[in-house]
Amino acid sequence: MRQLDVEMMHPRVQIIKVISRIYRDGMTTTSGGNISILDDNGDIWVTPSAVDKGSLREDDIICVKKDGTIEGKHKPSSEFPFHKAIYEVRPDIKAVIHAHPPALVSFSIVREIPDTNIIPQAKEVCGKIGYAPYGLPGSQELGVSIAKQFDGSDVMAVIMENHGTVLGGADLMDAYTRFETLEFCAHTIINAKAIGEPALLSNEQIQQFEDQIPHDVARNSEVSYPSEERAIRQEIVDIVRRASDQGLMISSYGTVSVRWKDNDFLITPSHVARWDIVPDDIVQIKGGKAEEGKTPSRALALHQKIYELNPHINSIILTQPPHLMAYGTTGVKFDVRTIPESWIFLQDVPCLDFGAHFYGNDSIPNLLSESVPSVLIANDSFVVTGDKLLQTFDRLEVAEFSAKSLVMAAPLGKLVPINDEQVENLRKKFLS
């Protein structure tokens, strides 16, 4: 299985694919940010200086040869010195991303490092984070300062004072996943502080999360692909890519499943970039066994139990929308009584303690019902269900839009939800 198959891509193609994604997601500007790859020959491929990041083409990428000669029609990025300095001190790093994503820039301005214990997978993905004092952009001194953080350590990301962030990876997708996850953590913490105080997971809780995930999945070698099953695969792919494009799912996290027949279902895989997923990546679960040769989502057991205990549920989405996670990390009640549509679609959204989703805990499958279609899991995720996948996705959108409105309203004054009488009138008209 692939986390974007960069092995078969030329460095130019890799860089264009990732920088385009970073720009589209608003994590860099037209002139800001740069990416490089160190290839097997010791040559460094890097984005050019002063060329629009929103319209870069493959032939814009520069190659700085091992002997220092430059091939390409532009100048290398002005930040090239620190890319080169990182590669010189860390042979394990083969790709570097530097950008100015808004949330991480906010942390750099206040001289802080975001705590990745805000969600369980981030600590492992992001690794140890360093901090580099301010330096003149493009200067040799800045390169030395940044390289010093990487040198002789296992640091894979550095917050640059009043500047942004720089991250390394074993390949470009590894660096991008780290970059995206760290920005997500920073964004979640900032959103959480708008409504309360974020609570962090202990290292012990994160380890408990990792330890409880079943790794031995039963396999089914006899797999058939009838037309209706293939249609579901495409539907899942379309929704996953849509969720990724709308910021409702980051590339390394998010699970979608659809019941196929009886308790058999289709589910997204592990270790595939969500914005690059294709129908063949989707994993068939039949008779409790996974399609051979594929690795299903680590949330497989939870989805399976939800289908077994809830015949009315035919689709599930589990993800980490940034504004909903503000409520999932503070303990502040997510009150969906913001506008009529929100309450009609979601009714009340309970928030369960971290651990409610662990293997063998049936709290979530037992709680979900037609009147409780979704739940928040503290410091972990939002789980939403429905009959059709489009209905489930609609509920996800409504929930995140509602959470975003509440977070944005918090600095304006006291929040005034729809009152009990108005809710009861909605119940009578739309849910009776």
pLDDT per residue as tens digits for the range 292-347:
999 999 999 999 999 999 999 999 999 999 999 999 999 999 999 988 999 999 98
How many CB atoms are located within 10 Å of the residue 394 CB? 15
Residue 5 has pLDDT above 70, yes or no: no
Q: What is the pLDDT of residue 140?
A: 85
Residues 128-151: what's their mean pLDDT?
91
Q: What is the pLDDT of residue 366?
A: 97
Residue 63 has pLDDT above 80, yes or no: yes
Are the C-beta atoms of residues 307 and 313 closer than 8 Å to each other? yes
Q: What is the pLDDT of residue 37?
A: 98
pLDDT per residue as tens digits for the range 158-179:
999 999 999 999 999 999 999 9
Confidence band for 2, pLDDT divided at 50, 70 and 90: very low
| First-to-final CA distance of the chain | 46
Residue 1 has pLDDT above 50, yes or no: no
pLDDT per residue as tens digits for the range 222-276:
888 999 999 999 999 999 999 999 999 999 899 999 999 999 999 999 989 998 8
Residue 85 has pLDDT above 70, yes or no: yes
Give this prediction's pTM: 0.94
Share of the chain above pLDDT 70, in %: 98
Mean per-residue pLDDT of the chain: 93
Residue 4 has pLDDT above 70, yes or no: no
Domains 6-195 and 218-431 share a fold: yes
Q: What is the pLDDT of residue 53?
A: 87
Q: What is the pLDDT of residue 142?
A: 87
Tokens for 197?
A: 């105080």
Confidence band for 415, pLDDT divided at 50, 70 and 90: confident
Residue 107 has pLDDT above 70, yes or no: yes
Strand partners for 70: 64
Q: What is the pLDDT of residue 360?
A: 92
Provide the residue ranges of all domains of the chain, joining segments of one domain with +. 6-195, 218-431
Q: What is the pLDDT of residue 298?
A: 93
| Inter-axis angle of helices 172-195 and 11-24, nearest 10 | 10
Q: What is the pLDDT of residue 50?
A: 84
Is 218-431 a CATH 3.50.50.60 domain? no
pLDDT per residue as tens digits for the range 29-48:
888 889 999 999 999 999 99
Q: What is the pLDDT of residue 141?
A: 87
Q: What is the pLDDT of residue 149?
A: 95
Tell me which CATH code domain 6-195 carries: 3.40.225.10
Residues 210-225: what's their mean pLDDT?
88
